[in-house]
Amino acid sequence: MGAMPVVHANGIDVNYEVEGEGEPLVLIPYLAADQACYAFQVAEYAKHFTCYSVDLRGAGLSGKPDGVYTTELLADDIAAFMQAAGVGSAHVSGLSLGAATGMWLAGKYPDLVRSLSLHSAWPVSDPFLRTVVETWQIIANALANVTEMVIQGIFPWCFTPELYAARPEYIDSLAAFVRSRPMPPVDAFLRQSGAALAHDATAVLGSIQAPTLITFGRHDQVTSTRFAEPLTTAIPDAELIVFEDCAHAPIYENVEDFNARTLAFLQRHQ
């Protein structure tokens, strides 16, 4: 078990966990999730890197203040966290909201980012993505429960129908994992999802200097491969990987392939 310290950064308490040894790797969670969401990756990454898994503003055990959240603000939080925790520059990886945050971090604070891994990412929210996220907000309000909203409302976008059919016990285990974690109250989820709705990093993508890996699941609809060309065109020399058998969450649907291919990229840029 790694240390679970807290630092004060950008006006909030930021909870995080440290595990492994080697060059620093900052892992940024996705919507509503806490730092443990990357457990299957840290198990491998920590053999080669010092993994800093962070709770974003509005989730986990980090601060959940009122106000408008943006992906730029979340990136400012991560930059301040890195300074407060003495990380210096690091490899940065994020999925979905974590990727949206990572692109702002790399564009705005290029000196902090050694390499950038953007999984299930998108440059600017389009009408389809906004409709999906607004549906999650409606479900969270209706259930008055973010945990069950994630399992009933977000899971079906994260995994393929084939996974539900072939491995129902695995879906159940992931649901149990979500239920075991500290989940945000509805108001904090609405603020954090508001950052996803308003996301637009198009102005900073060209400023990203770090070697960048972009990955998608072939069957993802929320952040589908419709975003591949805009991202690879805007970010200089970006590499693209598509996981053919996955939807929005290859980190759970094909753990072995995801870990092997993303770790190969990270190690090339050590």
| Among 14, 33, 1, residue whose Cα is nearest residue 154 | 33
pLDDT at 1: 44
**Would you write out the chain's pLDDT as a tens digit for each of its 270 residues?**
455 699 999 999 999 999 999 999 999 999 999 999 999 999 999 999 999 999 999 999 999 999 999 999 999 999 999 999 999 999 999 999 999 999 999 999 999 999 999 999 999 999 999 999 999 999 999 999 999 999 999 999 999 999 999 999 999 999 999 999 999 999 999 999 999 999 999 999 999 999 999 999 999 999 999 999 999 999 999 999 999 999 999 999 999 999 999 999 999 999
Taking the CA atoms of the chain, what radius of gyration do you get in angstroms? 17
Task: Sketch the domain layout of the chain as residue ranges.
Answer: 6-268
Q: CATH for 6-268?
A: 3.40.50.1820
pLDDT at 3: 53
* Contact present, 244 and 218 (Cβ < 8 Å): yes
Model pTM score: 0.98
| Among 56, 2, 60, residue whose Cα is nearest residue 27 | 56
E-only strand ranges, the chain: 6-9, 12-19, 23-28, 49-54, 90-95, 113-119, 212-217, 239-243
Largest Cα–Cα separation, the chain: 46
Tokens of 23: 């060059």
CB burial class (10 A; 0-12, 13-18, 19+) of residue 172?
exposed
Helix 71-84 vs helix 186-197: crossing angle, to nearest 10:
110
Can you tell me the distance from the alpha carbon of 248 to that of 243, in angstroms, rounded to the nearest whole number? 10
Can you tell me the distance from the alpha carbon of 180 to that of 36, in angstroms, rounded to the nearest whole number? 10
* Contact present, 50 and 27 (Cβ < 8 Å): no
Q: Please count the other Cβ atoms lying within 10 Å of the Cβ belonging to residue 237.
A: 10
